[in-house]
Amino acid sequence: MKKRDVYLDNMPLEEAKKLFFEDLQEAGILKSREPEILDVRKALGRVTAEPVFAKISSPHYHAAAMDGIAVAAKDTFGADDSNPVRLKEGIHFKYVDTGDPLPPGCDTVIMIEEVHPVGDGEVEIIKSYSPWDNVRGIGEDIVATELIVPENHRLRPQDLGAILAGGHVQVAVRKKPIVAIIPTGTELVSPGTVLKPGDIIEYNSAMLAGFVEEWGGQALVMEKVEDDYEKIKQKIQEALEKADAVIINAGSSAGSEDYTSSCIAELGKLLVHGVAIRPGKPVMLGRIGEKPVMGIPGYPVSAVLTMNLFVKPLIYLMQGIPEPEPEKINAVMSRRVVSSIGTEEFLRVKLGRIGERVCASPLPRGAGVIMSMVRADGIARIPALKEGLEAGEQVEVELLRPGYEIENTVVIIGSHDITLDLLANEVKKYYPELNISSAHVGSMGGIMALKRGECHMAGIHLLDPDTGEYNVPYIKRYLLEKGVVLVNLIYRQQGIMVPKGNPKAIKSIEDLRRPDVLFINRQRGAGTRLLLDLKLKQLGISPDEIRGYDREEYTHMAVAAAVAGGSADAGLGILAAANALNLDFIPISPEEYDLVIPEEFYHLDSVKKMLQVINTDEFKQKVEALGGYDTRDTGKVTIVPRGRFH
Amino acid sequence: MKKRDVYLDNMPLEEAKKLFFEDLQEAGILKSREPEILDVRKALGRVTAEPVFAKISSPHYHAAAMDGIAVAAKDTFGADDSNPVRLKEGIHFKYVDTGDPLPPGCDTVIMIEEVHPVGDGEVEIIKSYSPWDNVRGIGEDIVATELIVPENHRLRPQDLGAILAGGHVQVAVRKKPIVAIIPTGTELVSPGTVLKPGDIIEYNSAMLAGFVEEWGGQALVMEKVEDDYEKIKQKIQEALEKADAVIINAGSSAGSEDYTSSCIAELGKLLVHGVAIRPGKPVMLGRIGEKPVMGIPGYPVSAVLTMNLFVKPLIYLMQGIPEPEPEKINAVMSRRVVSSIGTEEFLRVKLGRIGERVCASPLPRGAGVIMSMVRADGIARIPALKEGLEAGEQVEVELLRPGYEIENTVVIIGSHDITLDLLANEVKKYYPELNISSAHVGSMGGIMALKRGECHMAGIHLLDPDTGEYNVPYIKRYLLEKGVVLVNLIYRQQGIMVPKGNPKAIKSIEDLRRPDVLFINRQRGAGTRLLLDLKLKQLGISPDEIRGYDREEYTHMAVAAAVAGGSADAGLGILAAANALNLDFIPISPEEYDLVIPEEFYHLDSVKKMLQVINTDEFKQKVEALGGYDTRDTGKVTIVPRGRFH
């Protein structure tokens, strides 16, 4: 029984929020709920459901604040060096330790260091004291009946201390809102399952549960349900019995969204289905009885975003505390980004302080790319009425990590290599406060980013086909206006990737000419394409002789995937890509991969620390252990002064 | 067996930190420890002990990104409106749903909306498509072998998602450092115990445990130990077996510190005893075997401060992540604060944005006043080489709550009344984002704070002895240069406080003349003192006739405490103070308590919201329920224009 819901709205975000939260308000769902009574010592991080007034004062008696003698201040009046006053134990004073109650008739404590025993239980005092000197009076800290913490207050360690000091052993806190999460989708399999094509690992529920708990709720992950109207409906009803709010996480397969929306509409009311945001458009907001029910889209980034927009404020409202405001920063867009009019886009960006400004570089925008949320430093909103952002335009970015971390980040843009990941990891081990951020746009993209001042350094491997020399000719051509330093990261093996077992027995570049071999190439300008062209030239082979020379891919991985998928018999790439997809690899030539660092950044403290790590034996050993890498020149510095080649 | 350690150093803070952490570094204690292997779904908030590389790609197959038909892009080349291309199911295309694997030979998906069936299993296409249109290629999100998160990375919900997507079900995280906390002190009693004078509620351990857990450690609160050298030593040894670090929380009674320092020195080495900070001077830092051992002072504010200075960085270092940097703000000191040269003071301050500047008002500086940590918005450091801070001096304040909360705070300075606590609580219920901060410096103190621009309003009850009128005469005298609005908060009952049962049968002001009655007075200028003087004048009684008229206290509570402690038979004050110490109360006169609000602040959104709450029946009912209050004019507004009285 499949019900299709043809209606998918494109409601502006603010309108959707208003509709949803006003309905919950009217239904009385956001009003205070029954509190939970906890031992104060177990209440850290919880939110008070009632104001806490002190039951007793602290101290609850006049207490000595020093070790010494307790006296009546008036008995010391007039004492000085030449007129010492003599006091008798038991009559004028009593010895007290810090914390001891003041004996009756005493109002002052004299420090033991200022007391001069003269024998016979008598002491001399050579100055006069004021009442309450060195005494902690009743209620000095807390006065009985005083407010210790108000209602709707998130309890910190010092609050627990003060509440206990005020005579309480229990405290009334808000119950954690229980949020049920129902993963739906016939294609979903549990983590750890051996995968076949079409299987999707069900990981959204772990992520959504994590958010619910970070925001102060309690997550209840339900068993996953296949795409079946009746089963989904039944699971929603089960969840409603156990939870204060229900999330249905749509599968990505056809129709699963429609089941969810029809179920919500049948059991209660569907207020919103479709919001003008990207990613996250197919979100659903509704209510069944007294409980909010939300359909969260299946693509992971859509899921994260819609959770933040709708479920986060809900969980905070249910606890009675305001949603924390995100830290914001002004940044400058490194590239132009085109966006659709009428849709508010939430663009994930990497950030870095490059000289005077903070640069924001957009990350992949696909709703399915969860790594864009892992890598992102922040989110830039592109309003619905804007067609996009221009390069150089100033944008406000909501931070996903603290601002000071952005300040401590070295930004590398250019060609990707896995040794950069390794480097990022090693740097974090030596200098936990330092971050390496790398964006992958190819070698020439890296040089252009450096020219535009978007990064501290570029990772490049550019072969000059005329000289066979790597990198320096390109710096001379494109970076003349800057003095730069070239630091060798590694040499890496380029080779021919072929299916496991090498079924067509390919041994060299020459074999690519064979009529039974279908090749897959890289795009024009790619370092790997330049290498192939040089090799072909050296061997006197014409590109026409190679079947598939014109089929272009943009990354090592895409070439490897074509070979792995059977749509090509061979492609040129690096060992790491072959290893990633379990391909065989025939080495052809080592390639020089360098970091290009403008002089102005070479002397930054953060860059120096990074280069120190590159020079450690530990880093080099780990690189060598990957296979396909040579570290003989790792860390080697070549200085290319500004304008030397004019 | 009591060992006294006479050595108490006054080591500069940075030197103490260096000594302690360098020793730990040398002893290898801060090196990576054995990791803990967790189910990824249980690893939220934990810190990775190893980098996590993807085991599989995501997607792990070429997947349809839309519902539609899968084709080879080349079969669509040349198609347009006038030249549709006809494709046959099973030969040229296959129907696919989102997430389905691409069939062999296909590289493109055409959205179902763009497919025109023409019967016989054939469809027409009226545009041409590029390879990989609407396809999520292998590794589009995550490429096998790619770094997902580095070592020493605190796992967020999106990280859990990506790690699961990368084929992991488990992740290696750092073990939580276990920190044992040993409360010591014979005077300590557990929360909930019926108290006798000299008893101190043991609440520090709950507070210290809370900090340990907030910073990512696991707290192990040990049973409390009395001040006995052997018992303390034995408990330390027990703690060392179970924990990675040990904290001994000194009792405040004489000698307990000395036991701790001697125990550490005997069992291992005591590196630091006494740091030039206030509060927190008697802190101890040492090491026993492979484990850091710290003596944290007994006064609660000293404990909180030294935990933050020494234990917080330790716990972060043991997890391999940097200590988060506190948010900082520049503020202007509202009052002069004198501090000792040679000691770095950590001053707790309340903050509020008053017009253009953020004002910092010092809170009580006693090490025993835990409420100063509850009320504080931030901490201003007074460097060891400064003698203090001047009024108007700019200071950097480390925030204890987010900066935007400071911006949303209404600051009230003046005389204290418990209805202000009630108001703060009610405001938080209606407007969770709004805060009321009140500081208690007396009515005249409030007027002076208003003159100096340190608060948004002052709470005052000042009787003009000549006219018998409240508040307005003082505004005319002191606030002529501002136009102000006077809002009545409450009338409150002033009366004579006497011990429970009224043993001396005091019934009126006249009884204060009796020779068997010892009075306790308020300081000159206090509203209560003015009231007494007016009453005496009206009754024709001379102050000389009252025994104790010259004995002055500065707060209602101090007067109440003198009566409760037996050092006086009667004092004038408010019902709330009498109730707090369980005294009897003879009403004398109602007193008008108003809020004085300069016009410039009266129109602030936050102030308007606060005044709305004052006007609710709910607030008034709660005030009446306290007893001793009259709300007949609560919320009533009197406008006193600027310079009207020139």
Beta strand ranges found along A560-627 (DSSP E): 570-574, 584-598
Shortest distance, CA B64 to any CA of chain A (angstroms): 9
- Secondary structure (DSSP) of B121-168: TEEEE-S---TTTTEE-TTSSB-TT-EEE-TT-BPPHHHHHHHHHTT-
Beta strand ranges found along A334-428 (DSSP E): 337-338, 344-354, 357-362, 378-382, 388-389, 394-399, 409-414
Domain boundaries, chain B: 13-31+177-319, 35-58+141-174, 63-136, 328-406, 421-640
Chains A and B form CB pairs within 8 A to the count of: 307
Calpha distance A292→A29 (Å, rounded): 8
Of B214, B370, B566, the CB nearest to A162: B370
Scanning the structure block, which residue is given the tokens 């002191």? B478
Shortest distance, CA B605 to any CA of chain A (angstroms): 17
Of A99, A140, A160, the CB nearest to B207: A160
The whole-number pLDDT of residue A4 equals 42
The whole-number pLDDT of residue B251 equals 63
Residues from chain B that touch A136, judged by Cβ atoms under 8 A, are: 366, 368
Q: Which of B371, B377, B438, B610 to mutate to test the interface with A (most CBs of A within 10 A)?
A: B371
pLDDT tens digits, residue range B8-33? 789 999 999 999 999 999 988 877 67
| Cβ <8 Å between A147 and B58 | no
| Cβ <8 Å between A65 and B567 | no
The CATH topology of domain A63-136 is Molybdopterin biosynthesis moeA protein; domain 3 (2.170.190)
Residue of chain B with shortest Cα separation from A560 = B138
Q: Is pLDDT larger for residue B130 or for residue A22?
A: A22
Of B325, B404, B561, the CB nearest to A139: B561
- What confidence category does residue B204 fall into, taking pLDDT thresholds of 50, 70 and 90? very high
Q: Which of B50, B109, B135, B141 to mutate to test the interface with A (most CBs of A within 10 A)?
A: B141
pLDDT tens digits, residue range B398-408? 999 999 999 99
Calpha distance A497→A491 (Å, rounded): 18
Question: If you average pLDDT over residues B270-295, what whole number do you get?
Answer: 95
The whole-number pLDDT of residue A416 equals 83
Tell whether the model's pLDDT for residue A482 goes beyond 90.
Answer: no
Of B101, B146, B157, the CB nearest to A210: B157
For A181, A208, A305, A316, A598, the CA distances from A311, given in Å and listed in that order, are 12, 10, 10, 9, 45
Q: Does domain A328-407 fall into CATH 2.40.340.10? A: yes
The whole-number pLDDT of residue A255 equals 62
Of B158, B566, B580, the CB nearest to A370: B158
- What confidence category does residue B1 fall into, taking pLDDT thresholds of 50, 70 and 90? very low
Tell whether the model's pLDDT for residue A2 goes beyond 70.
Answer: no
Tell whether the model's pLDDT for residue B558 goes beyond 90.
Answer: no
Picking from B434, B458, B427, the residue whose alpha carbon sits closest to that of residue B614 is B427
> What is the percent of chain A where pLDDT is above 90?
74
| Cβ <8 Å between A424 and B150 | yes
pLDDT tens digits, residue range B166-201? 999 999 999 999 999 999 998 899 999 999 999 999
Q: Which of A190, A221, A371 to mutate to test the interface with B (most CBs of B within 10 A)?
A: A371
Which DSSP helix (H) or strand (E) runs through A154? none
- What confidence category does residue A467 fall into, taking pLDDT thresholds of 50, 70 and 90? confident
Which DSSP helix (H) or strand (E) runs through B547? none
Of B136, B207, B421, the CB nearest to A157: B207
Residues from chain B that touch A366, judged by Cβ atoms under 8 A, are: 136, 140-141
Of A41, A252, A580, the CB nearest to B206: A41
| Cβ <8 Å between B432 and A195 | no
Residue B179 sits at φ, ψ, to 5 deg, of -115, 115
Tell whether the model's pLDDT for residue B2 goes beyond 50.
Answer: no
Question: If you average pLDDT over residues A320-340, what whole number do you get?
Answer: 93
Picking from A346, A360, A552, the residue whose alpha carbon sits closest to that of residue A449 is A360
Shortest distance, CA B42 to any CA of chain A (angstroms): 9
Residue of chain A with shortest Cα separation from B320 = A432
Q: Are A103 and A145 in contact, with CB atoms under 8 Å apart?
A: no
Scanning the structure block, which residue is given the tokens 């007193």? B591
Tell whether the model's pLDDT for residue A626 goes beyond 90.
Answer: no
What CA dihedral angle connects B535, B537, B542 and B543, to 10 degrees?
50
Beta strand ranges found along A77-121 (DSSP E): 85-88, 94-96, 108-111, 116-119
Of B147, B164, B558, the CB nearest to A137: B558
Q: Is the peptide bond before B282 cis (omega within 30 degrees of 0)?
A: no
Calpha distance B496→B577 (Å, rounded): 11
Residue of chain A with shortest Cα separation from B576 = A145
- What confidence category does residue B104 fall into, taking pLDDT thresholds of 50, 70 and 90? confident
Picking from B382, B452, B470, the residue whose alpha carbon sits closest to that of residue B411 is B452
Which DSSP helix (H) or strand (E) runs through B320? none
> What is the percent of chain B where pLDDT is above 70?
97
Question: If you average pLDDT over residues B457-484, what whole number do you get?
Answer: 89
For B100, B272, B283, B362, the CA distances from B385, given in Å and listed in that order, are 71, 21, 21, 19
Tell whether the model's pLDDT for residue A8 goes beyond 80.
Answer: no
pLDDT tens digits, residue range A416-445? 888 998 999 999 888 888 999 888 788 888
The whole-number pLDDT of residue B257 equals 66
Identify any residues that bridge with A219 across adjacent strands, giving them in sequence order: A179
| Cβ <8 Å between B253 and A104 | no
The whole-number pLDDT of residue A602 equals 95
- In chain A the first and final C-alpha atoms are separated, in Å, by 75
Q: Which CATH architecture has domain A13-31+177-319?
A: 3-Layer(aba) Sandwich (3.40)
Q: Is the peptide bond before B59 cis (omega within 30 degrees of 0)?
A: yes
Of A41, A63, A214, the CB nearest to B157: A214
| Cβ <8 Å between B159 and A99 | no
Calpha distance A212→A314 (Å, rounded): 10
Tell whether the model's pLDDT for residue A20 goes beyond 60.
Answer: yes
Which DSSP helix (H) or strand (E) runs through B518? none
| Cβ <8 Å between B201 and A58 | yes
Picking from B593, B608, B412, B614, the residue whose alpha carbon sits closest to that of residue B488 is B593
**Positive or negative, the Cα torsion across A304, A308, A314, A319?**
positive
Tell whether the model's pLDDT for residue B4 goes beyond 50.
Answer: no
Question: If you average pLDDT over residues A180-190, what whole number do you get?
Answer: 94
Picking from B245, B185, B250, the residue whose alpha carbon sits closest to that of residue B220 is B245
| Cβ <8 Å between B151 and A211 | no
Of B148, B152, B576, the CB nearest to A432: B152
Q: Are A342 and A13 in contact, with CB atoms under 8 Å apart?
A: no
For A49, A236, B37, the CA distances from A179, given in Å and listed in that order, are 19, 12, 27
Q: Is pLDDT larger for residue B251 or for residue A335?
A: A335
| Cβ <8 Å between B368 and A203 | no
Picking from B519, B517, B498, the residue whose alpha carbon sits closest to that of residue B585 is B498
| Cβ <8 Å between A146 and B421 | yes
The whole-number pLDDT of residue A505 equals 96
Residue of chain B with shortest Cα separation from A367 = B141
Shortest distance, CA A173 to any CA of chain B (angstroms): 14
Shortest distance, CA A298 to any CA of chain B (angstroms): 11
Beta strand ranges found along A35-84 (DSSP E): 35-39, 52-53, 63-64, 68-71
Residues from chain A that touch B580, judged by Cβ atoms under 8 A, are: 57, 139, 143-146
- What confidence category does residue A646 fall into, taking pLDDT thresholds of 50, 70 and 90? very low
Q: Does domain A35-58+141-174 fall into CATH 3.20.20.150? A: no
Q: Are A480 and A467 in contact, with CB atoms under 8 Å apart?
A: no
Tell whether the model's pLDDT for residue B152 goes beyond 80.
Answer: yes
Here the tokens at position B325 are 């940097």
Shortest distance, CA B198 to any CA of chain A (angstroms): 5
Q: Does domain A427-640 fall into CATH 3.40.50.11540? A: no
Shortest distance, CA B435 to any CA of chain A (angstroms): 10
Interface confidence (ipTM) of the complex: 0.91
Geometric angle at alpha carbon B99, from B95 and B102, rounded to 5°: 55
Question: If you average pLDDT over residues A527-541, what whole number do you get?
Answer: 92
Residues 6+ apart with CB under 8 A from B278: B339, B340, B343, B344, B345, B346, B365, B367
| Cβ <8 Å between B561 and A137 | yes
Residues 6+ apart with CB under 8 A from A120: none
Residues from chain B that touch A61, judged by Cβ atoms under 8 A, are: 197-198
The per-residue b/e assignment along A10-39, b for 16 or more CB within 10 angstroms, e otherwise, is: ebbbeebbeebbebbeeeebeeeeebeeee
Of A53, A141, A368, the CB nearest to B369: A141
The whole-number pLDDT of residue B646 equals 44
| Cβ <8 Å between B209 and A169 | no
pLDDT tens digits, residue range B342-387? 999 999 999 999 999 999 999 989 999 999 999 999 999 999 999 9
- What confidence category does residue B105 fall into, taking pLDDT thresholds of 50, 70 and 90? confident
| Cβ <8 Å between B161 and A207 | yes
Residues from chain A that touch B564, judged by Cβ atoms under 8 A, are: 138
Calpha distance B465→B533 (Å, rounded): 8
Q: Which CATH architecture has domain B421-640?
A: 3-Layer(aba) Sandwich (3.40)
3-state secondary structure of A405: helix
Question: If you average pLDDT over residues A24-48, what whole number do you get?
Answer: 90
| Cβ <8 Å between B580 and A143 | yes
3-state secondary structure of B41: helix
Question: If you average pLDDT over residues B509-518, what whole number do you get?
Answer: 95
Residues 6+ apart with CB under 8 A from A501: A584
Residues from chain A that touch B151, judged by Cβ atoms under 8 A, are: 425, 428-429
| Cβ <8 Å between B151 and A195 | no
Calpha distance B175→B41 (Å, rounded): 16
Residues from chain B that touch A425, judged by Cβ atoms under 8 A, are: 51, 147, 150-151
Residue of chain B with shortest Cα separation from A195 = B60
Q: Does domain B328-406 fall into CATH 1.10.10.10? A: no
Of A67, A101, A370, the CB nearest to B165: A370
The whole-number pLDDT of residue B385 equals 93
> What is the percent of chain B where pLDDT is above 90?
74
Mean pLDDT taken over chain B: 92
Tell whether the model's pLDDT for residue A451 goes beyond 60.
Answer: yes
- What confidence category does residue A644 fall into, taking pLDDT thresholds of 50, 70 and 90? low
